[in-house]
């Protein structure tokens, strides 16, 4: 009996390693609760923050992905506020996750990944060759109506850019703390990617960010 339990546990572990997020088609994928303890001291993470453009083949396990997304823009207070500030608390930036087993939209409040396609679209999230090899590519998409600016609001682009930048820096610091490689990117074919993301009118791709383990 014990052998059987060990064999099942071993099998689940293999599935988790080979298929880091989930089989596509089963609806939203619940991520494990983020682990919010530990990590490097802040000053050390700042010291180690850098852009890295070479990635190993190693995938992110669900726990690391959950921690990463929470650090990026997770809910950190009972009133629904987040790990990154946003102008007027509009929380208008959504994070899409391009992984080997598909493209997902992260729901920060449920900490779940909503599948969009089972195709590997990592290469499409950037114009540089290293992008396809990163374990995940995060795509930061602004919901302009949610950001609240009316037509002609000259500040809207500035505020959305700033809101995206602070999320990207959270990811940089998480990666520095965890020994992960990352680079934030403006180099994106936005038109081609927007089609695959199935964006609504009023949504716009702002930046993308590659994350993975560094190539040794
Ligand atoms: C808004 C923004 C856009 C960027 N776009 C790209 C990009 O498209 N491709 C890329 O390889 N790096 C990109 N970078 C990374 C910068 O090149 C990098 O931060 C800079 O060279 C300084 O290096 P460091 O991050 O290691 O300090 C971008 C950085 C920022 C802040």
Q: Using CA atoms, how far apart are residues 81 and 56, in angstroms rounded to an integer?
A: 34
Q: Using CA atoms, how far apart are residues 145 and 154, in angstroms rounded to an integer?
A: 14
Radius of gyration of the chain (CA): 18
Q: Using CA atoms, how far apart are residues 10 and 197, in angstroms rounded to an integer?
A: 35
Among 184, 190, 212, say which to mutate for ligand 1: greatest number of ligand atoms within 8 Å of CB: 184
Which atom from ligand 1 is nearest to the alpha carbon of 126? 8
Q: Using CA atoms, how far apart are residues 132 and 100, in angstroms rounded to an integer?
A: 9
- pLDDT in the model for residue 22: 55
- pLDDT in the model for residue 25: 57
Among 129, 183, 208, say which to mutate for ligand 1: greatest number of ligand atoms within 8 Å of CB: 183
Domain CATH code at residue 76 = 3.40.109.10
Report the separation in Å between the CA atom of 51 and the middle of ligand 1, taken as the mean of its atom positions: 7
- pLDDT in the model for residue 150: 62
Tell me which residue has its CA closest to atom 21 in ligand 1.
51
Report the separation in Å between the CA atom of 52 and the middle of ligand 1, taken as the mean of its atom positions: 9
- pLDDT in the model for residue 11: 39
Question: Residue 120: which of 199, 29, 19 has the closest Cα?
Answer: 19
CB 29 within 8 A of CB 99: no
Pocket around ligand 1 at a 6 A CB cut-off: 50-51, 53, 128, 183-187, 207
Among 173, 185, 188, 193, say which to mutate for ligand 1: greatest number of ligand atoms within 8 Å of CB: 185
CB 182 within 8 A of CB 210: yes
Which atom from ligand 1 is nearest to the alpha carbon of 50? 26
- pLDDT in the model for residue 178: 98
Sign of the C-alpha dihedral computed for residues 55, 67, 20 and 103 taken in this order = negative
- pLDDT in the model for residue 4: 43
Q: Look at the block and give the residue holding tokens 């080979």.
A: 18
Question: Residue 178: which of 18, 37, 14, 21 has the closest Cα?
Answer: 37
pLDDT digits (tens), the chain, 216 positions: 343 444 444 334 333 433 456 554 569 999 999 999 999 999 999 999 999 999 999 999 999 999 999 999 999 999 999 999 999 999 999 999 999 999 999 999 999 999 999 999 999 999 999 999 999 999 999 999 999 866 567 789 999 999 999 999 999 999 999 999 999 999 999 999 999 999 999 999 999 999 999 998
Q: Look at the block and give the residue holding tokens 């000259």.
A: 154
CB 125 within 8 A of CB 139: yes
Structure tokens at 191: 């038109």
- pLDDT in the model for residue 102: 96
Tell me which residue has its CA closest to atom 19 in ligand 1.
51
Report the separation in Å between the CA atom of 24 and the middle of ligand 1, taken as the mean of its atom positions: 32
Parent domain of 72: 2-212
């Amino acid at each position: 009996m014990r052998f059987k339990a060990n064999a099942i546990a071993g099998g689940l572990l293999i599935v988790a390693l080979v298929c880091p997020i989930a089989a596509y088609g089963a609806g939203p994928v619940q991520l494990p609760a983020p682990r919010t303890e530990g990590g490097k001291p802040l000053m050390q993470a700042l010291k180690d923050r850098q852009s890295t453009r070479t990635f190993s083949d190693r995938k992110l396990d669900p726990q690391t992905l959950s921690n990463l997304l929470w650090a990026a823009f997770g809910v950190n207070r009972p009133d629904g506020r987040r790990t990154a500030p946003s102008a007027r608390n509009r929380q208008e930036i959504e994070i899409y996750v391009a992984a080997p087993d598909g493209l997902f939209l992260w729901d920060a409040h449920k900490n779940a990944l909503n599948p969009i396609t089972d195709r590997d679209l990592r290469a499409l999230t950037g114009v540089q060759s290293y992008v396809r090899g990163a374990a995940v590519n995060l795509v930061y998409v602004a919901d302009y109506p949610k950001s609240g600016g009316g037509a002609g609001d000259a500040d809207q682009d500035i505020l959305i850019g700033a809101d995206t930048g602070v999320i990207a820096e959270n990811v940089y610091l998480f990666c520095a703390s965890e020994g992960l490689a990352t680079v934030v990117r403006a180099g994106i074919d936005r038109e081609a990617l927007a089609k695959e993301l199935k964006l609504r009118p009023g949504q716009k791709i702002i930046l993308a960010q590659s994350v993975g383990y560094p190539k040794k």
